[in-house]
Amino acid sequence: MTEEVPIPYTAVGVPLVEEVKFDGLKFKTVTWKVPEDVEYKGKIVYVHGFCEHSTVYTEFFDKLSQQGYEIFFFDQRGAGLTSPGELMGKTDEYHTFNDLDYMLKRALDSRENKEEKFFLGGHSMGGGIALNYAITGKYRDDIRAVFVSGPLVTLHPNTRPNIVVRKLLPVINALVPHLKIDSKLKYDYITSNEGWKNYIKAHDTKLIGTVRQFNDMFARGEKLLLKQHTSKYSPTIPLLLLHGTNDNINDIKSSEKFVSLLPASVEKEFVPVERGRHSLFIENEQIFNSVFEKVTQFLDSH
């Protein structure tokens, strides 16, 4: 079944896929190099969303590399080929940021120009991670700018677990942290691009996480609405935040509120993407092109 549903895009470049051993796991990493005949503009370290993996970013990363941006991506702990089978969803707050610290440090150590700073990008759960990294990240001073799409600050009412379940999550987390739950996310909420929707349906038949993973990512997002937390966002890291107006997974109102809580000294731009659903980087051609142009303009300006 899965072999009959290929990704709806043919890449120009070919990514470098490697296995990086760290803290008991073999992380799948994917690097999209800039072609030799294209001017190098900078490196992007990208943090993916819940249950995502590198394949769904093929078009976005391929086109960014053709524009001069090298992309480094890794399947996070609990996701993709880093954590198949029984390891799916097994992660927590500590490991989320400890793993990202390691990957950033590894990328920083490999720089030819030791003064070069990197861009940090992220989507959904990864967007919430990137926003928090600009607030408390160990290597945030090495981040040139941050761009995120549909970050998980709070879930949209149409996806949010009922209030009883949400309040019980910390209790369940303490008792059975590795209990697995099907998120039951609706594929129609992800994208209006039928090609990508069919690919995800065929390849990611269940979007499953552990109680600890859910508890920690919800708490991480909710912190972004606390003034005492957001006030620590680095004033040296410009921010581009894009959010689809038809996103029924993460709440666009919470993204807008987060931006409003940032210090006045932060260079920030909030972009509501009209008719965009949750995953803007695999949206229909018209929306994707407008979002891609906005992202590249932001990157080019920094």
Coil/strand/helix, residue 197: helix
Residue 278 annotated as catalytic: yes
pTM, rounded to two decimals: 0.93
Reply yes or no on whether the pLDDT at 282 is more than 70: yes
Given the residues 53, 243, 278, 279, select the one marked as catalytic: 278
Residue 62 annotated as catalytic: no
Q: Where are the beta strands (DSSP E) in the chain?
A: 16-22, 25-32, 42-47, 69-74, 118-123, 143-149, 180-182, 208-210, 239-244, 268-273
In degrees rounded to 5, what are phi and psi of residue 171?
A: -70, -50
Given the residues 247, 254, 255, 279, select the one marked as catalytic: 247
For residue 239, give Cα distances in angstroms to 14, 26, 97, 254: 29, 31, 20, 16
Q: pLDDT tens across 95-123, in order? A: 999 999 999 999 999 999 999 999 999 99
Residue 251 annotated as catalytic: no
Look over the chain and give the mean of its residue pLDDT values, rounded to a whole number: 91
